[in-house]
Each structure stands twice: as structure tokens, then as C-alpha cells.
Chains A and B, each alone.
Chain A
Amino acid sequence: MYSEKFQASLKAVEAAREKNTAYEPQRMTAQQKEDLLAAYHPDYKQDEFELLKIGPNKGDKVPSQLADILQAHSRITAESVDLSAPDYDVDVLVIGGGGAGASAAIEADEAGAKVMIVTKLRIGDANTMMAEGGIQAADKPNDSPAIHFVDAFGGGHFAAKRELLRKLVCDAPEAIQWLSELGVEFDKDADGTMITTHGGGTSRKRMHAAKDYSGAEIMRTLRDEVLNREIPVVDFTAAIELILDDKGNAAGAVLMNMETKELLVARAKTVIIATGGAGRMHYQGFPTSNHYGATADGLVLGYRAGAKLLYAETLQYHPTGAAYPEQIFGALVTEKVRSLGAKLVNVNGEVFMHPLETRDVSAASIIRECSTRGNGVDTGNGKGVWLDTPMIEKIGGEGTIEKRIPAMMRMFEKYGIDIRKEPILVYPTLHYQNGGLDITEDGMTTNVRNLFVAGEAVGGIHGKNRLMGNSLLDIIVFGRNAGINAAKAAKETEVGTLTLDHIAAFEKEMADANICTETVSPKLLPDYTRK
């Protein structure tokens, strides 16, 4: 139920619904999109960024909050850790218990490697669990990996590393098959045909889903498989520093028990960083759709050990975060809501854009509507625009919402809003880290041997903006890929003497660059306690 102050605008939305449902808005031209992004997208706000003073990306621009944790002190010194008697000794160490980490662990196990997962919360506490809308794969007769490639390359502003994108799109159908064979329940017709929809910026309907629990369904299945394989999962334990060997190769990590703070040493022949994103860094003060542990840990670990970043200056603001009620401020409203036909409507009941532009363009357009155009709805906690969910039932028939987006229905129902009958209020929310550690096609970082990366911690697969449904895809494709290649590399690796010398070397670089800071990193968890 919306209070009195929303009623006038709600009436306008309702009055225009019939007309708006039938209306087919124009898509923007390339030039219009470019101008819009430059004026309104958060990535273009120069004063929110800083140039890195040290490390492999010296001189590159990153969000200020990221610069702060990249150029920070380690939680430990080399002297405080005894590397001579490791607590764990494995072939492949996977850092992170999300979809990428679990996929990597399963494949490394399949390849016969001794693999271990370490995760600072529980296995499955990850953005994968929260991905709602779906996973892309060009598996319909009117589609092809080449068309998928063009959609993703253009959507990412022609900046993706093409060999990574090629892998993403060509391995996509097999990824869906792999998940199906593990028992993931994709939405299908009675004859087995996948029910697929559009996402923003797709030119074919290739979004596969499991209702609007797509990521949760994938994650819980992968978790179950990891447990069935009896792969050790060391939970509530964070990796706080990588360990190298005397050849400069990745050779393990220093771990910290999140509850007792006990330090542990894991030696490994190869290491996979699968630590996910950074939404809980709240860049530019945005709310986030991310899980509690999304604090860019992998970028910090990798950077301090000498690995290079790519496109760390580009973040994705999901156009439709919940703007109201405040208890769910910033929570994800899946793009699937728009895939199913709901349009974005301003305070006056006007459709102001095509609902399926790419995410960066949609976010910028909503910000414009709520700022200079003055057509936003006052939520009491900022501005928002309407996402007219009742259109879905008009188009798909009664019952479509309950069947296709039950999680959304439940989320708003708890606050007395029936999305089948009433629209919802949305505003962009920090959603995805487009950039990350730079890898080659085998999943290894470009400049630290035996250090692999998978999932959201990777940069370059999507370029500077990611399409809906390509992230669930990327964690599976590149998670499996990293697992396979890390297991292979482990077979050919003799670990040398372990060292943490890079900590002191990084400290020296900081001192030489006159960086004075009290920040220690990785951050591990946000601090939301009242001060």
C-alpha cells in the first residue's frame, strides 16, 4: 500500500497504463546513448575517481574507495606468520565459495586434483545466489554464438578482450548443458524447449531462467555437488594475503578465521581467486544489490602480489534497484521484470525510454529523469521512477507474475505492495564490478604465474558494461575453465620456498610514493554498526 503522497502520481500511471502497454518506444541512437552516458552515468563523474600511485596499474583511474583499499597496509607482516609448517597443503586452493569458486572446485576435483575451498562466510554466500533474471546462451535455431558475441561486444562498448568473449559465447551452450546434467531446473516447455526472453541489449531471446531464482537454483545445486564430492570447504575463513614462492609464482594464501582471528597457512600449487564483486564498497555512496561480503578482496590480494587490473574504473549500476520501501532500498529488482513487459514510467505517467536498453544506458536515463528533468517520484528517501509491473499481467495473462517472478512478488508483498496490481518504485543500485584482474584465455593472470581468477573478480570479459545474463554465464564458463587449467598447471608445478616478501616490497612502494594511510585491507566485511 502506498501512502497518500504517492496517490496523484499512481493515478496518472494507472490512467496511462492501457496506452503505455501498447506503446512501442524508440530505441536510442548510438550518439544519443553516448551523450546520455557522458552526462549522467556515475562512471563519468571524474571527481569520484583517483589515479593509482603505485603497483602494476600506476597512473590508472579507479573509484576513490577502491584506490584506498588497493593502496593500503596488509593485515599482517611477513614476520607474524610461520610459513614453514602449512596448516593445509593442496594442489588447487580456491578462494571464494560462490558460483565461480564452486564450478572451479568441481572441475579441479574432476581432473583429479586435491582441491580446497576457503570462504569468509558460508559456501553459497555470494552474488551468484542473488542473481535473479537468468543466464544467456545462444542455443536457439535463430541465434548463434556470433550474434551473442556482437551483442555483448557492443553492449560492453567494444572494449572486451575478444579471446575471452569468444570463450564466453562459444562455451555457453555447453555450460547450460553441464548445469542441466547436474540437475539445475531451467524453465522449459513441455517438449523440452527452453523458455527464453530478452535482456537489455540482446538481439535474440536467449535468457534462460529458473523462475526468478536463477542464481539461487544454480548456486544451491553447485554447492550440493561440492558437498557430494566431499571437497573440503573451510568456511568463515578469509584469505588475507597471497603467498608466493621464491620463483614469484602464486603458492598459497594466509588465512584468517573470521571469528577467532586465528591465522592459518595454506600452501598450494595453484591458486584461484574467485572472490566476487565490490558492491559493499558503496562506490559514490550508492546502495547495492550485492551480498554482505562483496568488498573487492580478490582485487586487493591480487594487486598487492603484482597482478594487473583491467577496467577497474567501470562499475555497473543496475537500473532497477528498489527505491521504496526503505527496508529494501537498493535491493535488486530483476531485469526480467522488464523482459516480461513492464515499462519504466515517470511521475507523470509517461514512458520515457525503451525498457530494454543496456544497463548503463537505462541507469543513466533514470538518473536523468530524476535529476535535471525533474520527473522523479519523491520516495521520502530520494527519488525513483515507476516500474509498471501490472503491465506484465496485461501482456502475459493473469498468473504470469506468480509463475515467472515469484521472488519479486514475495519481496514487495512483505511490505503490503501487490506488484500484480500496483507498480513499484526503482532507482539505480551498485550491482556489478565490470573490471577486475586481467587474465589470459586459460584463466591465469597475465603476470603472476599459477594465479588464476574466475567470476566477477575478472576484468575484460564484458568490456566496460555487462549484459544481463552474461555474469551467471561467465562464472560457470570461466569457473570451470580456471578449475581445469589450475588442476593441469598444478601437475606441472614444484612449489619453491614460500615467501611473503611482497608485503614489505609493497609497503616500500607506498612509502616512496608518500602514501600515508591508516587503511588495512582486504576489508572483508562492511561496517554498518551505528557510530
Chain B
Amino acid sequence: MENMVNIFLFGKKYEVPDNLTIMTAMEYAGYQLVRGCGCRNGFCGACATIYRIKGDKELKACLACQTKVEDNMYIATLPFFPLVKEVYDIEKVSTTEAVMMQLYPEIYACIGCNACTKSCTQGLNVMQYIAYAQRGDFEKCAEESFDCVMCGVCSSRCPAGISHPQVAMLARRINGKYLAPECGHLEDRVREIKDGTFNELIEALMQKPVEEMKELYNTREIEK
């Protein structure tokens, strides 16, 4: 037996089973979604949603695909938010805070209200990673922001107009490209392949009859 709850989609009341997520509740109510629905698994950030439980002053934010409905939930989805994405050339960017001053100077206008962190659908410490970005500590900014799905809820709550997910995106790319340690064995292998080191081995496999390939596969040594 299903327990039903009342929810309000954009203010309109619907009765839905209480075991549904906000997303599946919308579909139960009859919405054929085009906007506000992507991976349905909490990775893509398409389904940012703002809600309030009747009688509760606090405005909450979540991903519609990851959140169960509750009784008297007032729901407004946020399928698009106008984040500012500055264009830059990754080959030419500065790896110090100068790049932030140039591309996203508004982060220095952060008033420390912490509304971003309170609203994060992933539970990240958003204000902290912006603080790291301000200082040019991109490694820490990258680590702290890693689970960001770029849904944009933080930015919707920011009085300073910061586009936090884009700031973090820039920091992660700088970290991945310039600050993370270089990988020697990768460079070696790319060079070996270019030099043709494995050509003979590979070409032998291209010609080998399937029966011999089976033998090779079934008796291959597997690293512990």
C-alpha cells in the first residue's frame, strides 16, 4: 500500500507516493521532462531544485533525482542558471592568483555570508574553496571542489555574483595540467609507441588465428 503525500510543483498541488524522488514525482504527476533532467544519478547537475517545507522558514536546495519527496513540499526547479563562464586559453593561463584577478575578480568581493556552502547540493564547503582560489591555492581549491556537479545553486544564492562552479573548474584544470606531478611512465610509453617499439608484437596479434588467440587469452598471466 502506497503512502501518499501532497507536494506543490511550482505552487500547484499534486498527490504522489512518498517513496518517489522529486524527479519521479514530477513524472508521476504527468510532466514529460525535457529541461531539468540529465543523468538521473546525481552526476550532471541538470536538476537543481529549490524547495521549502510548509511552515519552515528555511529555503533548501537539492538535486531532484537524489531527493525523496516530503509532505507539503513546495518545489521549484532551476533547470538553468546564468553562470558566468570566462573564456581562456589553457595553454597560456597564469598559474597564480593573477588568473583569478583577471578572469573572476568578483571572487574578491565575497562577503563571507556562507550562503553558497549552505545551499550546496553536494554538501561541499563552497566558501572555503573560493577562499583557496582567492589565494591562488589551486590544489586545495581543486580538492575541496572536486565533487561539484556545477548545478549552479550556490551562485543563485550569492550576493557577490560569483560563479563558483566556473571558478573551481578553472582551478581544477590548472591543477591537473600544471601543478600535479608529471607522469614519467606515461611520457615514456607514448614515446615508445611513436618509436614503433610494439609494432611487431601488435602486428603478430593482427594475424593470429582465433584458436591461437584463445589459447593466449586463456593462459595469460594475471597480475595479482
Contacts and interface: CB of A to CB of B under 8 A. Distances in A.
A159 to B, nearest CB: 9
A525 B31 CA distance: 13
Contacts of B220: 147, 150-151, 154, 203
Interface SS, B side: loop
Contacts, number: 221
B54 interface: no
A211 B217 contact: no
A331 interface: yes
Interface stretch (B4-12, B32-40, B111-119, B128-136): B32-40
B213 A146 contact: no
Interface in B95-114: none
B38 A170 contact: no
Given A158-B213, A182-B173, A183-B177, A331 B34 contact: no
A528 to B, nearest CB: 4
A527 interface: yes
B22 to A, nearest CB: 10
Interface residues of B, number: 70
Nearest to A294: B39
A94 B220 CA distance: 40
Interface in B19-55: 19-21, 24, 27-35, 37-44, 46
A11 interface: no
B138 to A, nearest CB: 10
Interface string A216-228: 1100110011011
Nearest to B40: A292
Interface in A319-343: 326-328, 331-332
Interface string A128-160: 011000000111111011110111011000100
Given A184-B176, A529-B31, A158 B44 contact: no
A47 interface: no
B59 interface: no
B1 interface: no
A67 to B, nearest CB: 24
Contacts of A139: 183, 185-186, 189-190
A192 interface: yes
A528 B23 CA distance: 10
A224 B221 CA distance: 41
A530 B44 contact: no
Contact of A528 (B24, B122, B172, B186): B24
B34 A236 contact: yes
B205 A149 contact: yes
A227 B19 CA distance: 39
A338 to B, nearest CB: 15
Contact of B27 (A137, A211, A411, A530): A530
Contacts of A125: 38-39, 44, 46
**What bracket does the count of chain A residues touching chain B fall in?**
35 or more
Contact of A216 (B27, B89, B149, B183): B149
B177 A180 contact: yes
Given A158-B214, A194-B186, A406-B147, A528 B43 contact: no
A124 interface: yes
A282 to B, nearest CB: 13
Contacts of A170: 193, 198, 202
A203 B221 contact: yes
Interface of B: 19-21, 24, 27-35, 37-44, 46, 66-68, 85, 87-90, 122-123, 142, 146-147, 149-150, 169, 172-177, 180-187, 189-190, 193, 198, 201-202, 205-206, 210, 213-214, 216-218, 220-223
18 contacts: A122-B38, A139-B189, A150-B220, A166-B202, A170-B202, A173-B193, A174-B193, A182-B173, A185-B146, A185-B175, A192-B182, A213-B147, A217-B172, A291-B41, A292-B39, A525-B32, A528-B24, A528-B32
Interface of A: 27, 29-30, 121-122, 124-125, 129-130, 137-142, 144-147, 149-151, 153-154, 158, 162-163, 166, 169-170, 173-174, 176-177, 180-186, 188-194, 198, 203-205, 211, 213, 215-217, 220-221, 224-225, 227-228, 230, 236, 258-259, 289, 291-292, 326-328, 331-332, 406-407, 410-411, 414, 525, 527-530
